[in-house]
Amino acid sequence: MSTILVAGSMNIDIVTKVNRHPLPGETIHGMETSLFPGGKGANQAVAAARLGASVCMVGAVGNDLFGNEIKRILSDDGIDLTHVKEKNSTTGMALITIDQTGENNIILSQGANGLITKEDISRVSYDRFDAILLQNEIPWEANAFVLEKAQHHQVKTVFNPAPALAISKDYLSLIDILILNEHEATEMTQYKCDTKEDIVRSVQFLIDCGVKEVIITLGKKGSFYMNNKQKVYSTAALQVPVVDTTAAGDTFIGAFIAKYMSGHSVEKSLDYASVAAAISVTIEGAQNSIPNVDKVNNFMQ
Ligand code: ADP
Ligand code: NA
């Protein structure tokens, strides 16, 4: 079993179905409202935990109604929350309205996620993990601190630059495995990812910056892997009935890391991630659509 530290965001998603989105200044009636746990950090932690890893989460929630609820949900998946801080603020929150055509309006409030400091994460025993997984939904200073700690303790780093932002080459060279979707790849490298040649050029750019292994996920076109020794591997996405692709990427990342860090080959780990992500798109929602080991194994038989 691999032991993974996830340093990242924890959100509550408040989703209301509406006939149509309100105009500025207008009050409308929503049809039904649901609360869901979310945040890329929490989603990827849940995916890794359900798919076989021992997971510890570093992050922050607010001292509002939602903080304890999120912690309760994550602890149900066996995630170690010792290093989740409670901030004197609101919990990270996404206010989402979905109209009858399925179009979303989303307001993201960083809340406690934006208040994570170096001090909050300085007491973690970084050397006890096989890998550290990061995204881009907490302050960059916190990520940079974790990357430096990982380098100091020679722990593998896995970075999902979502949302994409330009990071300095100094930090890219501290990243062992970069996992990003085609849009994030284009933002980071300025290369389009429309053709195989485009994708290879984009990945080569990232490898030239010092990243050791790069995976670009391509939605229903699958994924592409290349490392700094020019080894290449592609997966095709499974043909499944698509219900909701939310958290497909998070599922893919958590599944891949859980497998790869426990010693499986890159090919086996990517194939496994591709099955787990395909299952997640057949089910509505984010965290609740992430399968566990039994579900993936049944699907693979
Ligand atoms: P993100 O959610 O970050 O945008 P992608 O859309 O690239 O990520 O999806 C991640 C992975 O999920 C893909 O590489 C693929 O394996 C799987 N996946 C995504 N969409 C589908 C789909 N429609 N059918 C089957 N698998 C899918
Ligand atoms: Na889903």
The ligand 1 atom nearest the CA atom of 181: 7
The ligand 1 atom nearest the CA atom of 180: 3
Q: Summarize the confidence of residues 2-31 as an average pLDDT.
A: 96
Q: What is the DSSP string of 208-251?
A: HTT-SEEEEE-GGG-EEEEETT--EEEEPPP----S--TTHHHH
**Peptide bond just before 163 cis, omega within 30 deg:** yes
The DSSP output letter for 79 is -
> Catalytic: which of 120, 130, 250, 271?
250
Q: Whose CA is nearest to atom 19 of ligand 1?
A: 219
| Cβ of 10 less than 6 Å from ligand 1 | no
| Cβ of 2 less than 6 Å from ligand 1 | no
Ligand lying nearest the CA atom of residue 234: 1
- What mean pLDDT is reported for the chain? 95
In sequence order, the 6+-apart residues with CB closer than 8 A to the CB of 297 are: none
Could you read off the pLDDT of 213-249 as tens digits, one per residue? 999 999 999 999 999 999 999 999 999 999 989 899 9
Percent over 70 (pLDDT), the chain:
100
Could you read off the pLDDT of 239-290 as tens digits, one per residue? 999 998 989 999 999 999 999 999 999 999 999 999 999 999 999 888 999 9
Alpha-carbon gap, residue 103 to 31, rounded angstroms: 15
pLDDT of residue 127: 95
Percent over 90 (pLDDT), the chain:
92
Q: Which of 181, 235, 296 to probe ligand 1 with, by most ligand atoms within 8 A of CB? A: 181
Alpha-carbon gap, residue 290 to 281, rounded angstroms: 9
| Distance from residue 155's CA to the centre of ligand 2 (Å) | 31
pLDDT of residue 134: 98
Task: Give, in words, the CATH class of 3-300.
Answer: alpha beta
Q: Which of 187, 217, 271, 275 to probe ligand 1 with, by most ligand atoms within 8 A of CB? A: 217
Would you call 80 a catalytic residue per the annotation?
Answer: no
| Distance from residue 156's CA to the centre of ligand 2 (Å) | 28
pLDDT of residue 102: 83
| Cβ of 181 less than 6 Å from ligand 1 | yes
Inform me whether the pLDDT recorded for 40 exceeds 80: yes
ipTM metric: 0.98
Kind plus residue range of the DSSP H or E element containing 180? strand 177-181
The DSSP output letter for 285 is S
Confidence of residue 46 (pLDDT cuts 50, 70, 90): very high
Chain CA centroid to CA 129, Å: 18
The ligand 1 atom nearest the CA atom of 274: 16
Q: Summarize the confidence of residues 182-195 as an average pLDDT.
A: 92
The answer to whether the CB of 43 falls within 8 A of the CB of 9 is no
Ligand lying nearest the CA atom of residue 288: 2
Inform me whether the pLDDT recorded for 10 exceeds 80: yes
Could you read off the pLDDT of 101-123 as tens digits, one per residue? 988 898 999 999 999 999 999 99
| Cβ of 220 less than 6 Å from ligand 1 | yes
Q: Summarize the confidence of residues 43-47 as an average pLDDT.
A: 98
In sequence order, the 6+-apart residues with CB closer than 8 A to the CB of 197 are: none
Kind plus residue range of the DSSP H or E element containing 146? helix 140-153
For the chain, the farthest-separated pair of C-alpha atoms sits apart, in whole angstroms, at 58
Instruction: Give, as residue ranges, everything with CB less than 5 Å from ion ligand 2.
Output: 244, 246, 280, 289
Q: Summarize the confidence of residues 29-49 as an average pLDDT.
A: 95
> Structural domain boundaries of the chain?
3-300
| Cβ of 240 less than 6 Å from ligand 1 | yes
Q: Summarize the confidence of residues 78-90 as an average pLDDT.
A: 97
Could you read off the pLDDT of 129-176 as tens digits, one per residue? 999 999 999 999 999 999 999 999 999 999 999 998 777 778 999 999
The answer to whether the CB of 6 falls within 8 A of the CB of 56 is yes
pLDDT of residue 273: 98
Beta bridge pairs of residue 85? 60
